[in-house]
Amino acid sequence: MSIRWSGVPGASGYAVEWTGSDGRVVQQKSATSVVELSLEAGEYRIRVSALNRFGKPAGWSDWKTFRVEDAAQKQSLDLNRPEEPAKKETVSQTTAPPLWKRSVPGWVQIERQQWRGWAYPSALGLLAVYAWDQKRRGDLIASDALNDPDLIMPLSISSYAALGNALWIRRSQQRELYDAHQRNQRLAGMAAIGVVALHWIDISFFEDDRSAVIVQDGTISFRMRF
Mean pLDDT over each residue of the chain, to the nearest integer: 79
Cα–Cα distance measured from residue 78 to residue 2, given in angstroms and rounded to the nearest whole number: 9
**pLDDT: is 31 or 115 the higher one?**
31
Interhelix angle 119-142/161-205, nearest 10 degrees = 160
Q: How far apart are CA 146 and CA 131, in angstroms?
A: 25
> Collapsing DSSP states into helix, strand and coil, what is residue 99?
helix
Class of domain 2-78: mainly beta
- Measure the CA–CA gap between 21 and 41, rounded to whole angstroms: 11
- In this structure, is the dihedral angle defined by the CA atoms of residues 179, 185, 188 and 190, taken in order, positive or negative? negative
Share of the chain above pLDDT 70, in %: 81
- pTM of the model as a whole: 0.47
Other beta carbons within 10 Å of 30: 16
Q: Which of 11-15, 84-88, 89-93 has the highest mean pLDDT?
A: 11-15
Q: What is the rounded distance in angstroms from the CA atom of residue 26 to the CA atom of residue 18?
A: 5
